[in-house]
Amino acid sequence: MIEIVQMFDRDMIERLSGPMHAGILIQSTMAFLLALKDGLRDAREDRPAFLVLAARH
């Protein structure tokens, strides 16, 4: 199991410097911004967070 985690870490670090490195940064940033937008909307509408709602079912 430790080998899998180490391989994953190494692969993720290599992706930051290899081809398409901008893609992984843009994808991560967009996912964060969209989750933040939806979370703020849920808070304004007094709805529970998505993970809390998903964990209850």
pLDDT tens-digit profile of 3-29?
A: 998 998 888 887 777 777 788 788 989
- CA torsion sign, 29 to 32 to 38 to 44? negative
pLDDT recorded at residue 56 = 86
Report residue 12 CA to chain centroid gap.
Answer: 13
Answer yes or no: is pLDDT of 43 > 90.
yes
Go through 33-47 and write b for each residue having 16 or more CB atoms within 10 A of its CB, e for each that does not.
eeeeeeeeeeeeeee
pLDDT for the residue 32: 96
CA separation for the pair 25, 21 (Å, rounded):
7
DSSP state of 18: S
pLDDT at 15: 75
The per-residue pLDDT for 33 is 97
pLDDT for res 34: 96
